[in-house]
Amino acid sequence: MIEVMVLDLCYNRATVKTTRAVRLDELAHKACREEFDFMIFAPDNLLPAPGLEPCPQRTIEAIHQIRKVRVPCKMPIIAFSASPERDYPLTVAGVDCVLGAMLMRGFQRLTAMW
């Protein structure tokens, strides 16, 4: 859904190459090994690695891992639809901007008007 919104907003204005990660371990792997100008992800929608239970702390650990490899000014990280109680921990972990679920719904309405 985020991918569709970004592509719609950038249509005929910018070239956008996107990639997807369904699991948290995929996100960390791609972010540490591929070149991106910025990263947008929905932490509450990422699945855990196979054999592991869902745990919010694993998302924080993944962001720390990404920040060890990527310099913050070279790859801003935006978290969409994060639950309010995860806002501060994600920010401390290195996420540049945390946008809550209410803002996500407003963003969807805005893109629908374009």
Domain ranges of the chain: 2-113
d(CA 55, CA 106): 28
What is the predicted pLDDT for the residue at 1?
Answer: 66
Q: How far apart are CA 84 and CA 104, in angstroms?
A: 13
- Give the global pTM: 0.74
Which one of 3.40.50.1700, 3.40.50.1820, 3.40.50.2300, 3.40.30.10 gives the CATH number of domain 2-113? 3.40.50.2300
Q: Is 6 exposed, middle or buried (0-12, 13-18, 19+ CB in 10 A)?
A: middle
Q: Across residues 44-67, what is the average pLDDT?
A: 83
Instruction: Give the per-residue pLDDT at 39.
Output: 86
